[in-house]
Copies of this chain bind each other. A is one copy, B any other.
Amino acid sequence: MKKEEFVKEITNIDEDFAKWYTDIVLKAELADYTDTKGCIAIKPYGYAIWENIQNYADAEFKKIGVKNVYFPVLIPEKLLQKEKDHVEGFAPEVAMVTEAGGQKLEEKYCIRPTSETMFSNLYSKWLSSWRDLPMVYNQWCSVMRWEKETKPFLRSREFLWQEGHTIHETAKEAQERTLQMLEVYADVIENLLAIPVLKGEKTETEKFAGAESTFTVETLMHDGRALQAGTSHYFGQNFTKPFEVKFQNREGKEECAYQTSWGISTRLIGALIMAHGDNRGLKLPPRVAPIQAVIVPIAMKKEGVLEKSNELFEKLKSLNYRVNLDDRDQYSPGYKFNDWEMRGVPVRIELGPKDIENNKCVVVRRDTQEKIEISLDEIETKLQVILEEIQNNMFKMCQDIVKTRTNVAINMDEFAQKLEENQGYIKTMWCGDAECEEKIHEQTGAKSRCIPFNQEKISDVCVCCGKKATKMVYWGRQY
Q: Which residues of A line the B interface, CB within 8 A? A: 1-3, 32, 34-36, 39-44, 47-48, 50-51, 67-76, 79, 91-102, 108-109, 111, 118, 121-122, 125-126, 128-129, 131-132, 137, 141-142, 144, 146, 148, 158, 160, 330
Contact = CB atoms under 8 A, between A and B. Distances in A.
- Secondary structure at the A interface, as helix, strand, loop or mixed, is mixed
A47 B32 contact: no
B32 A48 contact: no
A41 B70 contact: yes
Contacts of A75: 36
Nearest to A76: B35
Given A35-B79, A71-B34, A109-B36, A96 B92 contact: no
A43 to B, nearest CB: 6
Contacts of A43: 69
Given A94-B100, A100-B146, A158-B72, A41 B131 contact: no
Given A96-B100, A99-B95, A51 B68 contact: yes
Nearest to A74: B36
A210 to B, nearest CB: 19
Copies of this chain, tallied across the complex:
2
A425 B141 CA distance: 38
A35 B121 contact: yes
A141 B95 CA distance: 19
Contacts of A76: 35-36
A414 to B, nearest CB: 39
A92 B101 contact: yes
A428 to B, nearest CB: 35
B98 A99 contact: yes
B47 A126 contact: no
